[in-house]
Amino acid sequence: MLGEIPDSTLDLRVAGVNLVPGTLRDQLAGGPHLLIFLRHFGCLFCRETLADLRAAAEADPSYPPVLLFFQGSPMEGRALLRRYWPAARAVSDPELRVYAAFGVHRGNLLQMFGPGVWAAKRRAEAKGHEQGERTGDVFMMPGAFLVEGGRVLWSHQYRHAGDHPDLARIPELLAGARR
């Protein structure tokens, strides 16, 4: 998804973890943001993404603010984020309304169990991540979008469940997208 974010999406009331009260638009005020749509919390790729994202954001002062989206309740979100990134802002979206609005979809069998997933599993396990209890829609794909002022400037097209962009390059991608 590139282009304008519909007002109907921006005006959705959201709840979650470490958010300001209000709508999605309220969460995105003040410049560019990186939106990350997580898979289910038991997914080792979700955990890997959280750890890698936190490291990248804390290492680079030019990193845009991150807003996470997850399928569980705010209480479930707080429990997981307490372990991986207590300061993270995250939107609870158990009905997957925002996922759908951004075109984040369910994966097919190849995207869930294909060769790329097995290679990514080895990568995540080498970093110390493990599979946890499955929660939410286990076939939901992840999503990553750089947004600013109601526009999507960049998105990552996920090939499979374990794919993810080089999160350390996000500031560079943002600079390029703004040109």
Q: What angle do CA 115, 49, 106 make, to 5 degrees?
A: 55
SS (HEC) of the chain: CCEECCHHHHCCEECEECCCCEEHHHHCCCCCEEEEECCCCCCHHHHHHHHHHHHHHHHCCCCCCEEEEECCCHHHHHHHHHHHCCCCEEEECCCCHHHHHCCCCECCHHHHHCHHHHHHHHHHHHCCCCCCCCCCCCCECCEEEEEECCEEEEEECCCCCCCCCCHHHHHHHHHHHHC
What pLDDT is stored for residue 16 in this prediction?
96
Copy the structure tokens of residue 117. Answer: 């997933």
What pLDDT is stored for residue 1 in this prediction?
57
What pLDDT is stored for residue 173 in this prediction?
84
Q: What angle do CA 143, 155, 161 make, to 5 degrees?
A: 30
- How confident is the prediction along the chain (179 residues), in pLDDT tens digits per residue? 568 999 999 999 999 999 999 999 999 998 999 999 999 888 888 889 999 999 999 999 999 999 999 999 999 999 989 989 999 999 999 999 999 999 999 999 989 898 888 887 887 778 877 777 777 888 999 999 999 989 999 999 899 889 988 999 999 888 887 76
- The DSSP symbol for 20 reads P
Burial class of residue 78 in the structure, from the number of CB atoms within 10 Å of its CB (0-12 exposed, 13-18 middle, 19+ buried): middle
**pLDDT tens digits for range 66-86:** 999 999 999 999 998 998 999
| CATH number of the 3-178 domain | 3.40.30.10
